[in-house]
Amino acid sequence: MAAATFTAKLEDVVRDAMTSGLAPCEHQHAWLGDAVACVQRHGGIVIRDAIPQSVISAVLEDFRTRHDVHMAPGQKKLFRTFQSDPLRAQVPVAVDGPVANPEFFAPPSVLALARKLMGDDLIIGEMGVVISHAGAGAQEIHRDSNFLFGGLDLEIGLPPFAMTMLVPLLDVTPEMGPTEFWPGTHRHRDETSDEPPLSLAINAGSVILIDSRVLHRGGANISGPVRPTAYFSFHRPWYLEHFGYENKPQVRITPAMLQRLPEAYRSMFSWALHLNRTDTFHEFVYRWTGRIRQRLLALRGA
């Protein structure tokens, strides 16, 4: 198949969040209809002011405290499970503290849209934060999830089975390496496109929601400052991503964390409890042999 030739402008994919002051049924119906059409056509949407600034500030402060080694400017030795660039860290985070606020991990506009596209019983299948330091190059162009059957003609037009929400914790300027995505590539098998990507320099509190089959990447952080971006992947309950999770769970949660969540959101995380168990000898051996195997592979490739 020839490379994708789909074009779009930034204004085509940007929408304001749903306004809580309007009549819910009428407003949500109109907003969701437009947002669904945007995602179906372009493969993604930017939702402005989806998360209150106070919520973003609380999470940012928590990251600076809990992950200070990864947030420190000039840090070279970073957690690089998925990232090949030593100036880009991908760090697992727990469903705890400010991160466990539903306004952060499931803002109303995003959750309503994700459920409209994938059903009410969706789960959060992956979560973490990617931290880009000054000097980090652009990521490799990638999809968060591959086509289920390798891109058969029959599945190209299917609705999403996974969607990724990207949440910048700082206002992102073009120099800080905004997320870039190629509109329409959720319906193309190709791993490249002849068209330039949309560069999504957005303010903290705004979010990006993309079909996980869309080609995208984090841009090059030319001048800094350190740019943390949280991510949450909404999945249909039957879909789980396994690539790269040999030695750490997709979601870090304990029974105590789950019980602190509002009951309406527990089903989104309860599926992951078994991934976090460390109380059996088998699980202990599995995790540590996995870590040793990864270290040996890294030394062999050095």
Alpha helices per DSSP H over 48-89: 53-66, 68-71
- Compute the average pLDDT of residues 71-75: 68
Q: What is the pLDDT of residue 14?
A: 95
Cβ contact 214:142 at 8 Å: no
Between 224 and 60, the higher pLDDT residue: 60
Q: What is the pLDDT of residue 2?
A: 39
- Compute the average pLDDT of residues 75-95: 74
Rounded to whole angstroms, the Cα distance separating 167 from 164 reads: 10
Q: What is the pLDDT of residue 262?
A: 97
Give the tens place of pLDDT for each residue, 138-153: 989 999 998 888 888 8
Quote the tokens at residue 200.
Answer: 């999504």
Report which of 165, 164, 166, 170 is spatially closest to residue 60, judged by C-alpha positions. 170
How many residues in total does the chain contain?
302
Cβ contact 207:47 at 8 Å: yes
Quote the tokens at residue 251.
Answer: 């979601």
- Compute the average pLDDT of residues 277-302: 63
pLDDT band at 284 (very low <50, low <70, confident <90, very high): low
DSSP bridge pairs for 126:
233
Rounded to whole angstroms, the Cα distance separating 121 from 47 reads: 22
- % of the chain with per-residue pLDDT over 70: 85
Domains of the chain: 10-274 (2.60.120.620)
Cβ contact 214:44 at 8 Å: yes
- Compute the average pLDDT of residues 100-122: 97
Q: What is the pLDDT of residue 22?
A: 47
Q: What is the pLDDT of residue 5?
A: 47
Q: What is the pLDDT of residue 3?
A: 44
Q: How far is CA 211 from the centre of its chain?
A: 10
Q: How far is CA 169 from CA 59, 63, 74, 99, 225, in A?
A: 8, 10, 19, 12, 12
Give the tens place of pLDDT for each residue, 89-110: 888 899 999 999 999 999 999 9
Between 124 and 28, the higher pLDDT residue: 124
Give the phi and the psi of residue 88 in degrees, each rounded to 5.
-135, 120
Quote the tokens at residue 259.
Answer: 């019980």
Q: What is the pLDDT of residue 1?
A: 38
Give the tens place of pLDDT for each residue, 194-242: 788 999 999 999 999 999 999 999 999 998 789 999 999 999 999 988 8
In this predicted structure, which of 2-6, 67-71, 109-113, 274-278 has the lowest mean pLDDT? 2-6
